[in-house]
Structure 1
Amino acid sequence: MKNPAFSMLELFAHIHQALNEIVWGMPLIILILGAGVYLSYRTGFIQVTKIVLIAKSIVSGFIYQKKGEGDISPFQALTTALAATVGTGNIAGVATAISLGGAGAMFWMWFSAFFGMVTKYSEIVLAVHFREKKPGGRIVGGPMYFLQKGLNSRILAVLFAFFGSLAAFGIGNMVQANSVADAVNLAFGVPPFMTGIILAVIAGAVILGGIKRIASFTEKLVPVMALIYVLGAVTILLLNMEFIPRALASIFNLAFTPEAAAGGFVGAGIRETVRFGVARGIFTNEAGLGSASIAHASARTHHPAAQGAWGIIEVFIDTLVICTLTALVILVTGSIESGLEGAALTTEAFNRGLPGPGGLIVAFGLIFFAFTTLLAWSFYGEKCFEFLFGTRASLRYRQVWIPFILVGAVGGLRGIWNLADTLNGLMAVPNLVGLVGLSGLVVKLTKEYFKR
């Protein structure tokens, strides 16, 4: 006789899988892409037409980092947001997109990133414009604030904060802790439980210091870890230069070819190529989810659009640089024919390109990318929770967050991980409603800033 409890677990798994496919299916992908296209059109495609002024704005932000109201510098806001976006998606996500959707999936990652630049820009502009000063002088903002104050919708604001505070425990906490534990166990043989304890202690010391300590930590670690990974990938590409044109040709040719089948994947049609490319692109740069704007809202800046410019650079670095390098390494080394998926495929590619150090670069990349993602998402979740339950709830959220790192490291509560992925997608819905509804204000603030 079948165990009733086991049957209930099976039923829950099937229900969740169906729900997740709906949430992360084509309708949401079309909605996010559509919002990006619409916002790009309304702002005059500033990711192209204003690129020189955006570059000047970034340089100005470096020079005058102490000017303007806020808790952290514009660069610290960028590195905190990059800490959340540059993660396992850049290593495992790209590999998954290519192994399941073919080389052409990379084209659709670029496509989503191009329009995602303005989506991310718009999120930040609104988050900074509607941010609030809390007791003690702290500055807070994000989609929940522009939905409530700008769109006058308390319901949408609460929904975003609810989804965000819960999704953070899965996608930003336990999944990342488990990725670190697995990478450390594979590379050095350290038991996941020990890794979990060490992670919880280090992360706790950083997280309990609030956004200033998190930003100070990510400001130093993110550039270093990104540079090591990029240098490793570039070295492999330089050693395999003759294969780069062929790799690029396969990306463009297979982006529109229904019979995109070769090597380790079987018959991935055009629908799957588009779906995996766009979905993985959104997953890795988070444009449309609204999460990164929570970090940028704390930045010292003299105008919302000035900080918004950093969001465009953020998507560029995450997807058009790091994800592209990962994809090209996989393609030029021929690792796509190995039949592997996810992080294992990227590890195989780096090992083929740089036997010995290649695997270590990916291992350390997974460890540090996942760890900094954990730190940034703790702040995102906390601010969402604070919006729902008040300032005093922040400390309680941190106190609950830290033990869950150990739970994730040892592989516990995997059902919550899956549910968090669904909640992560649901965050996008109220955020996109706010972006489209307040697009007129984004246009106004953009024109105001770039006329100066």
Structure 2
Amino acid sequence: MPDFFSFINEVLWGSVMIYLLLGAGIWFTVRSGFIQFRYIRQFGKSLKNSISPQPDGLTSFQALCTSLAARVGSGNLAGVALAIGAGGPGAVFWMWVTALIGMATSFAECSLAQLYKERDRHGQFRGGPAWYMSSGLGMRWMGVLFSVFLLLAYGLIFNTVQANSVAHALRYAFDFPEWITGAMLAIATLLVIVTGIKGVARLMQWLVPVMALLWVTTSLVVTAMHIGQLPDVIATIFKAAFGWREAAAGALGYTLSQALTAGFQRGMFSNEAGMGSTPNAAAAAASWPPHPAAQGIVQMIGVFIDTIIICSASAMIVLLAGPVAHTNSPEGIQIVQQALVNLAGSWGAGFVSLIVILFSFSSIVANYIYAETNLIFLRFDSRKALWILRVGIAGMVMVGSMLSLPLVWQLADVIMALMAITNLTAILLLSPVVALIASDYLRQRKLGLKPVFDAARYPEIESQIAPGTWDDLPRQ
């Protein structure tokens, strides 16, 4: 079975996904007017505006923290280490490329999710790829297919990845039994997810900034302690990214391919741009200013924070520790623990365990919100169905804590590719709508106006969106 999934991954990630991700990212960068580069200086202002509370939905900041909770998981620690182990230091460069290009893809999918959102029976905004596939493209069957993929991924497989990293981290640091870790994590997850989307969002808006700051600060301190090695590490990343170091040995093609594949796989697993997951959080926000592009821009910040900041923090620790750190252990999280121990002392293993608990727990909880949202789209959101989902997630957390890591990552890569292919197909078909949203937002900004989306200006779109989502929003 591992050989089968390995073969599927080679087919999907060896060519199909890399070309699709690169192509989509470049396409939306152009169609959106290079929006990720034009607005990078306004990220701070966008974050400030995102805190304003609005009725009927989460604040944009809560939606950002919820999506970051799902993004910032074991992939930011174990995934980075595995990428470096599989593709060398050059994989880090291609993770950065994935993020910069993926920001435009994230803008596209999250803006579309905002545009086509609807209210659930409790008045809370819901939406995501399934909604824009159904309403924007008129292809409900495609939305159903995507929802099934997402339920498999976020209800089952990805949670095993997170639990697996926590269990191995605690075993390495404290010799803690995996089954006890799984049981405690499952119980904690159940206690939080029963509070629903608003309860989860309120927790994430405090937990996510704290845990991210803890890890990034630690990386900065460790880097400062070994500042003399930093120029060599950065030079190695760039040289290995293009195979310059290996060219003389005749291994250029293979090494470049490995770096590309590993960087794109782990980069996408971490920042999720184009996968179709973060739009489920983006749609839940009552965006301010009231324009679909505003939430798209806020969610672009999430891609930047996740990969350019947090993944880079992990990469610095692993690379500063030298080749020993990523060759002695087959477990991604143990590579990070070993690296921090080598650089800073014995406390490193326990500290990484704490960080991975926070990262993974927040991801599992946010994953539930994504799964719940898609149950609503499938109209299987009865009380009984929601409890089956909750118990199923808790069960997969238990199972994941005791599975072998290679099989878990291979399953995650396959389902991630299937989700991404479905979602990228949809947003590429809807790219004229993305271009319209971006140009409408940029036009109003250029005129010095507060962007407000007036659906009446676009009759074809107005006929597709849910009544009351854009015409009844409060104006301030």
Same fold (TM over 0.5): yes
Residue 330 (1) aligns with residue 296 (2)? no
Instruction: Report the alpha carbon displacement of residue 50 of structure 1 after superposing the two structures with TM.
Output: 2.5
User: 2:150 is matched with which residue?
Assistant: 164
Per-residue CA distance 1:37-78 (angstroms, 9 max, x = gap):
10001111111122234442222222x2x13x5432211111
Q: Does structure 1 residue 444 correspond to structure 2 residue 433?
A: no
> Structure 1 residues 345 and 189, CA, compared in 2 at 3 Å: closer, same or farther?
closer
Aligned residue for 2:162? Answer: 176
Partner of 1:194: 180
Amino acid at match of 1:48: F
Superposed displacement of residue 135, structure 1: 1.2
- Shifted more, 209-218 versus 409-418: the winner is 409-418
> Residue 37 of structure 1 corresponds to which residue in structure 2?
26
User: Match for residue 365 of structure 1?
Assistant: 355
CA offset digits 1:215-273 (Å, max 9, x no partner): 122222211111111111100111111111111111112211265499xx999611111
Map of 1:434 onto structure 2: 426
**1:11-160 equivalence runs, <5 A:** 12-62=1-51, 64=52, 66-67=53-54, 69-160=55-146
**Partner residue in 2 for 1:318:** 306
1:205 to 167, 186, 191: 191
Q: Distance in 1 between matches of 2:381 and 2:236?
A: 52
Counterpart in the other structure of 1:271: 257
2:381 is aligned, of 373, 391, 394, to 391
| Equivalent of residue 343 in structure 2, options 346, 349, 353 | 353
1:224 aligns with 2:210: yes
2:318 is matched by which residue type in structure 1?
Answer: I
> How far apart are residue 205 of structure 1 and its match?
1.0
| TM-score, structure 1 as length reference | 0.90
Query: Superposition pairs for residues 285-296 of structure 1, below 5 Å?
Result: 285-296=271-282
Change (3 A) 1:329 1:122: same
**CA-CA distance at 1:118 after TM superposition:** 0.9
C-alpha distance in structure 1 between counterparts of 2:246 and 2:88, whole Å: 6
Pairwise CA distance, 1:20: 3.1
Task: Give the conservation status (yes or no) of the 8 Å contact 2:243–2:253.
Answer: no
Query: AA paired with 1:446?
Result: A
The answer to whether structure 1 residue 306 and structure 2 residue 294 are counterparts is yes
Q: Which secondary structure state, in structure 2, belongs to the residue aligned with residue 79 of structure 1?
A: helix
Question: How far apart are residue 337 of structure 1 and its match?
Answer: 6.5
Q: Which amino acid aligns with 1:380?
A: Y
Kept after mapping to 2: 8 A contact 1:168/1:380: yes
Cα distance change, pair 135–123 in 1 and its aligned pair in 2 (3 A): same
Deviating more after overlay: 276-285 vs 31-40: 276-285
Q: Is the 8 A contact 1:386 1:394 kept in 2?
A: no
The Cα offsets for residues 109-128 of structure 1, whole Å up to 9 and x where unpaired, read as 11111110111111110001
1:259/1:270 contact within 8 Å kept: no
- Decide whether the 8 Å contact of 2:372 with 2:381 is kept in 1: no
Shift of residue 370, structure 1, vs aligned partner: 1.1
Distance in 2 (CA, whole Å) between partners of 1:294 and 1:266 is: 40
Bigger drift between 74-83 and 193-202 goes to 193-202
Root-mean-square deviation over aligned CA pairs: 2.4
Q: Does the CA contact (< 8 Å) of 2:113 and 2:129 recur in 1?
A: yes
Conserved 8 A contact 2:28-2:105: yes
Q: Which runs of 5+ in 2 are unaligned?
A: 450-476
Q: CA deviation at 1:424?
A: 2.2
TM-superposed deviation, 1:330:
2.1
Q: Is this contact kept in 1: 2:336–2:352, CA < 8 A? A: yes
Would the alpha carbon gap of residues 73 and 322 (structure 1) be closer, same or farther in structure 2, given more than 3 Å must change?
same
Tell me how far apart the structure 1 counterparts of residues 152 and 181 of structure 2 sit (CA, whole Å): 24
1:335 touches 1:349 (CA, 8 Å); kept in 2? no
Distance 1:423 1:391 in 2: 23
Q: Deviations over 1:162-213 (max 9, x none)?
A: 1111122443322222222222233233322222222222110111111111
Identity between Structure 1 and Structure 2 (%) = 38
Rounded Cα–Cα distance in structure 1 between residues aligned with 2:241 and 2:161: 30
Kept in 1, the 8 Å contact 2:33–2:438? The answer is: no
How many corresponding residue pairs?
436
Aligned to 2:268: 282
Distance (Å, rounded) in 1 between the aligned partners of 2:91 and 2:409: 25
Summarize the Cα distance change of 1:371–1:151 in structure 2 as closer, same or farther, 3 Å threshold.
Answer: same
User: In the alignment, residue 316 of structure 1 is paired with which amino acid?
Assistant: F
Residue 367 (structure 2) pairs with residue 382 (structure 1): no
Unaligned runs of 5+ in 1: 1-11
Structure 2 counterpart of 1:7? none
Instruction: Decide whether the 8 Å contact of 1:171 with 1:421 is kept in 2.
Output: no
- Equivalent position SS for 2:57: coil
Q: Residue 306 of structure 1: CA displacement?
A: 1.0
